[in-house]
């Protein structure tokens, strides 16, 4: 179920996919209910049926719809996709995504592989390494108007795509012409947490991040997810130099590794409260490249970070500057978090590096 965040303006009354449900009037909910910015989705015990709920309708169960090519939303996706409302948000909380942008939510049930080709299958199948619960399909914030660039954002340990979207919503809202993709990792046992299962891109064996203790297979597999997303975006018409990858904490490590080892030059890499993993492999990839071919990097880290201590950031930046001078390193008063100031600096950096 790939969650899509769409501008409210993209769901005009009378043209919503809601009106095209094969169950028809039996559902008893109009397009206005879904276009309403106060509409939200609640958790369903069954992942086969989602439950839709809004402020101006009773709770109803949704069936799979029949796709109509004259739908303003359907026209944006391949004809074989089957939109359904999502069963995965914050269970019972009635929260909504979108803030001042009044975003509506739709889901493309079990169809992310169709939307992004190989990438969707990679998220749910390639992550079999060490995982005990499958990944959820990504949250996608689609651009309004011209599509200038795409940013793939990787969440931290224990988080998920919806949570990462919410945490980065101010940055997303600052770039209405940029597509943001927020994948969700599978749940896996984490050795550092005595085997407790958390959603994560790779296992963490120790807090010291020594290379001989790194989950190299997990990092490689997760980097492959990013690379597949890049390939899918490029196949859809987006040049590689307009693709960016970023992440927070564990996601920042995956972003750094995937961005620096990708075979094509991308637009940039964003690393927040993290480090450069598998530096021997990164060095092998960057050692023979011209500095101008290494993507620009934004690196932000809290000086009081107790989870990934600040000196790991300093060492990572020193390592990176062997290969490129295009490293923007910012330190912040605070711990393991993205501060408001860091978010503003990130917006400034993206404005500088996004293609016109």
pLDDT band at 80 (very low <50, low <70, confident <90, very high): very low
155 included as an active-site residue: no
Q: What is the pLDDT of residue 223?
A: 97
Catalytic-labelled residue, pool 16, 44, 104, 249: 249
Q: What is the pLDDT of residue 4?
A: 52
The CATH number for 318's domain is 3.40.50.1820
In a domain, 300, yes or no: yes
**Cα–chain-centroid distance for residue 124?**
14
DSSP 174: T
| CA distances to 203, 227, 238 from 263, in Å | 25, 9, 16
∠ CA(2), CA(8), CA(10), 5° rounding? 75
Q: Do residues 71 and 20 make contact, with C-beta atoms less than 8 angstroms apart?
A: yes
Catalytic-labelled residue, pool 20, 88, 155, 336: 336
Residue 234's SS3 state is helix
Catalytic-labelled residue, pool 54, 305, 316, 353: 305
Mean pLDDT of 55-74: 31
What is the phi/psi pair of residue 78, to 5°?
-55, 150
**Beta strand pairing call for 139-141 and 2-7:** parallel
Model confidence at 63: pLDDT above 80 = no
Which is it for the CA torsion 234, 237, 242, 243, positive or negative?
negative
What is the phi/psi pair of residue 21, to 5°?
-65, 140
In a domain, 80, yes or no: no
In a domain, 51, yes or no: no
Beta partners for 88? none
pLDDT band at 212 (very low <50, low <70, confident <90, very high): low
Looking at every residue in the chain, the average pLDDT score rounds to 70
In a domain, 131, yes or no: yes
Q: Do residues 191 and 205 make contact, with C-beta atoms less than 8 angstroms apart?
A: yes
Range from 88-102, 150-164, 182-196, 238-252 carrying the lowest mean pLDDT: 88-102
In a domain, 189, yes or no: yes
Q: What is the pLDDT of residue 8?
A: 28
- Tell me the two tokens of residue 60: 């109803």
In a domain, 57, yes or no: no
Mean pLDDT of 78-86: 29
Q: What is the pLDDT of residue 133?
A: 58
Model confidence at 103: pLDDT above 70 = no
Percent of the chain's residues with pLDDT above 70: 60
pLDDT band at 293 (very low <50, low <70, confident <90, very high): confident
Domain count, the chain: 1
pLDDT band at 167 (very low <50, low <70, confident <90, very high): very high
Where residue 28 falls (left for φ over 0; alpha for ψ -120 to 50; beta otherwise) is left
Higher pLDDT, 12 or 205: 205
129 included as an active-site residue: no
Q: Give the range of the structural domain holding residue 286, as residue numbers without chain letter.
A: 111-353
Q: What is the pLDDT of residue 251?
A: 98
**Cα–chain-centroid distance for residue 138?**
6
pLDDT band at 89 (very low <50, low <70, confident <90, very high): very low
Q: Do residues 219 and 169 make contact, with C-beta atoms less than 8 angstroms apart?
A: no
Higher pLDDT, 122 or 319: 319
Range from 71-85, 260-274, 289-303, 309-323 carrying the lowest mean pLDDT: 71-85
Q: What is the pLDDT of residue 135?
A: 57
The CA distance from 49 to 28, in Å, is 16
The CA distance from 303 to 336, in Å, is 9
Higher pLDDT, 124 or 204: 204
pLDDT band at 211 (very low <50, low <70, confident <90, very high): low
Residue 40's SS3 state is strand
Q: What is the pLDDT of residue 356?
A: 73
Beta partners for 84? 107
In a domain, 172, yes or no: yes
In a domain, 23, yes or no: no
The CA distance from 12 to 31, in Å, is 8
249 included as an active-site residue: yes
Report H helices in 288-328.
310-320
């Amino acid at each position: 179920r790939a969650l899509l965040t769409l501008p409210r303006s993209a769901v005009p009354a009378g043209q919503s996919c809601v009106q095209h449900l094969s169950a028809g009037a039996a559902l008893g909910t109009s397009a206005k209910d879904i276009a309403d910015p106060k509409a939200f989705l609640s958790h369903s015990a069954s992942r086969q049926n989602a439950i839709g709920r809004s402020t101006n309708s009773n709770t109803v169960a949704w069936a799979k719809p029949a796709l109509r090519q004259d739908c303003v939303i359907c026209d944006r996706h391949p004809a074989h996709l089957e939109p359904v409302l999502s069963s995965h948000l914050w269970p019972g909380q009635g929260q909504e995504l979108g803030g001042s942008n009044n975003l509506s939510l739709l889901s493309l049930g079990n169809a992310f592989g169709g939307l992004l080709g190989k990438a969707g299958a990679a998220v749910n199948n390639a992550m079999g390494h060490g995982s005990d619960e499958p990944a959820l399909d990504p949250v996608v914030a689609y651009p309004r108007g011209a599509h200038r660039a795409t940013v793939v954002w990787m969440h931290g340990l224990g988080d998920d795509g919806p949570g990462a979207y919410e945490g980065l919503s101010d940055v997303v809202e600052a770039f209405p012409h940029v597509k943001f993709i927020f994948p969700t990792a599978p749940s896996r046992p984490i050795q550092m947490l005595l085997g407790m299962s958390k959603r994560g891109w790779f296992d963490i064996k120790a807090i010291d991040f020594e290379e001989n203790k790194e989950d190299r297979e997990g990092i490689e597999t997760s980097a492959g997810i990013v690379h597949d997303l890049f390939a899918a975006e490029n196949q859809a018409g987006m040049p590689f130099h307009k693709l960016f990858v970023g992440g927070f904490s564990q996601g920042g490590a995956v972003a750094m590794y995937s961005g620096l080892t990708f075979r094509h030059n991308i637009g940039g890499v964003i690393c927040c409260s993290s480090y450069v993993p598998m530096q021997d492999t990164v060095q092998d990839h960057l050692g023979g490249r011209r500095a101008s071919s290494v993507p620009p990097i934004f690196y932000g880290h809290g000086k009081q970070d107790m989870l990934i201590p600040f000196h790991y950031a300093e060492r990572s930046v020193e390592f990176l500057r062997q290969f490129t001078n295009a490293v923007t390193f910012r330190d912040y008063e605070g711990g393991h978090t993205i501060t408001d100031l860091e978010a503003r600096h990130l917006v400034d950096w993206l404005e500088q590096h996004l293609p016109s």
